[in-house]
Chain A
Amino acid sequence: MSSNHGTHGENASQEPNAAEDANPDSDPIAPQDLSSPSDPIAFQEPMVELVSVWKSFGDKEVLRGLDLTVQEGDVICLIGASGCGKSTLLRCVNLLETLDRGSIYFIGTEIAPGVVNDNAVRKRMGIVFQSLNLFPHLNVLENMTLGLRVAHRISKATALELAKEWLARFNLSDKISEYPERLSGGQQQRVAIGRAMIGSPDLLLLDEVTSALDPELVGEVLALMKELAAGGTTMLVATHEMGFAKEVASRVCFIHGGVIHESGRPEEIFGSPRTEETQRFLARLREGGRL
């Protein structure tokens, strides 16, 4: 699919979407934005803005001019087939990958690996991966506080206090001195999410955090994600959990062909998808019993 199509899909959503307005280099009332139903009163600098992002690995073009805007408080669910670029997108935002073309803005500043201070950016984001997040040689407390102590240079006592606070919130207080191998997969992911949240990031990136878990462990992690979403955490979530997307997402983005092929509120995407590809993707999910 062309990138134009994707952009169209995004603009057509009913959200007050200030995607183009917020580009700091362009005029906020540029003429090309007339089609967008953005409300000037609701204008707010986006948390993250991806502008025509291209990324390929070898011959495989994963992202092909993808645009995306995340406002503060948004819970954006990225859905799409495996290998469609959801993870790559999150890794690009966290500066773990270098873009081929395009730009990413984080709270108004263009970020790119090596151009800005990567670590300063990462300290303000939290990311949790599919699996193997925790350091096996460190216990839960050490896992939780490593970033605080080393990157944020927070004192041991303060870090301990914060860790205890978060573990209590996640019902993991009794696991504070356990090593990851002694925890269930669900507990491990909850600790990983706690570790990502402990530095009070502006944005939480979750990359299919439940897909490596046994089915009975998915619930506890999703419940935690819902709680964080309800608490106003800005989240960008790559997920196969359509139930979560339906219930919690403020916007669902279907990634196809390296762009956001269609995006909208969950009820729009799941209820009345406009494009054939989205319909086909959802039909496949229904066949697999995942929707």
Chain B
Amino acid sequence: MTDLTPPSALPSIGPSRRRNGSGGFGGGRQRQSSQDGRQQSSFGKSRPSWYVPVVSVASTMLVVGTASYFIWQSNSRQLVEQQFFNREKFWDSFPDVVGGFWLNIQMFVVAEIAILLVALLVAVMRSLRGPEFFPLRVLSVIFIDLFRGFPLILLILLLGFGVPTLGISYVPNGVLFWGVTALVLSYSAYTAEVYRSGIESVSESQRSSARSLGLTQGQAMRYAILPQAVRNVIPALLNGLVSLQKDVALVSVLGIRESVREAQIEVARSFNFTPYMVAAVLFLLISIPLARLSDWYTKRDRERRTQTYV
């Protein structure tokens, strides 16, 4: 954590530099010389095989090296290390922040499940056809417009602090419950639109086919349209998942002691920002794998789609 400095980066790049015998920008000049005899093409010079690896390594070295140099040279490096990467503070605050992070994960999982279900319901309501479903369509449009229109933080404050003061007996009055509900409402509005784009991406002839088999509108949706629609939007849903994983931290404004709040308490006590870094690391530990999962699935999905018919 504390060691983001060039000495660790250089050795790994070094060997390839030596192997190619021409460091940095030498590649460009060498390409222009005719010593590799590759210039017979009428399109001019073709790139030798070492061009891509050498250029990518050289450009990476340049960028990483420059950035590291300036950080290393900086007068305030000691101060930055002290304030943000303080090893002692890191381990001091670690248990509390991790404890809070467990709550983040719980909120994240519960909210995500609720979002996927609520959003699906809203999207299906919005996609129903026929005059008898007009009220449902209107309701779903109002829901989406409303909860997508609010800033999420405002919604969290409004519901989290507001609703419990009403003291309604037949709903939970916990701040945590309403904070998560605000997340669910806001994200459901976005996710419903994701689902809807998926539903609309399924060709009309699929609906006709299902209806022509005698399936009702609901059955056609359930058995023919939705399975394809959901598959089409899984990359977009995964993207929402990554986003939600971070946004659960917003309920900290309600005083809920999740990881960011715990870190904030530690920071306030010691006036050292390392606890925030603890929380940041914990979030990255979840969000980076999720992002890679999303990339992997999207890539696989694209490959599957571009397969040609037999």
Contact = CB atoms under 8 A, between A and B. Distances in A.
Interface of A: 91, 94, 96, 114, 118-120, 122-123, 125-127, 129, 131-137, 146-147, 150-152, 181-185, 192, 195-196, 199
Contacts of B213: 122-123, 146-147, 150-151, 195, 199
Contacts of B77: none
A129 B208 contact: yes
A151 B213 CA distance: 7
B20 interface: no
B225 to A, nearest CB: 9
Contacts of A152: 214
Interface string B200-218: 0001011011111111100
30 contacts: A91-B208, A94-B212, A96-B211, A119-B215, A119-B216, A120-B214, A122-B213, A123-B214, A125-B212, A129-B205, A132-B203, A132-B205, A135-B209, A135-B223, A136-B228, A137-B227, A137-B231, A146-B210, A146-B215, A150-B213, A150-B223, A151-B213, A151-B215, A151-B216, A151-B219, A152-B214, A181-B307, A183-B310, A192-B209, A195-B213
Interface of B: 130, 203, 205-206, 208-216, 219, 223-224, 227-228, 231, 307, 309-310
A185 B223 contact: no
A10 B213 CA distance: 31
A122 B211 contact: yes
Given A150-B219, A151-B214, A131 B205 contact: yes
A192 B209 CA distance: 9
Contacts of A91: 208
A28 to B, nearest CB: 32
A234 B272 CA distance: 84
Contact of B309 (A114, A185, A195): A185
B209 A129 contact: yes
A33 B186 CA distance: 67
A135 B215 contact: no
A94 B205 CA distance: 13
Nearest to B207: A96
Contacts of B205: 129, 131-133
Residue of A135, A183, A192 with most chain B CB atoms under a 10 A cut-off: A135
A184 B212 CA distance: 23
A118 B211 CA distance: 9
Nearest to B216: A119
A137 B310 contact: no
Contacts of B310: 181-184
Given A123-B214, A146-B210, A183-B310, 17 more contacts: A96-B211, A96-B212, A119-B214, A120-B214, A122-B214, A125-B212, A126-B212, A132-B203, A135-B209, A137-B227, A146-B213, A146-B224, A150-B215, A151-B214, A151-B216, A151-B219, A184-B309
B229 to A, nearest CB: 10
Contacts of A137: 227-228, 231
B256 to A, nearest CB: 41
Contacts of B223: 135, 146, 150
B214 A147 contact: yes
Contacts of A96: 208, 211-212
A135 B206 contact: yes
Contacts of B228: 135-137
A115 to B, nearest CB: 13
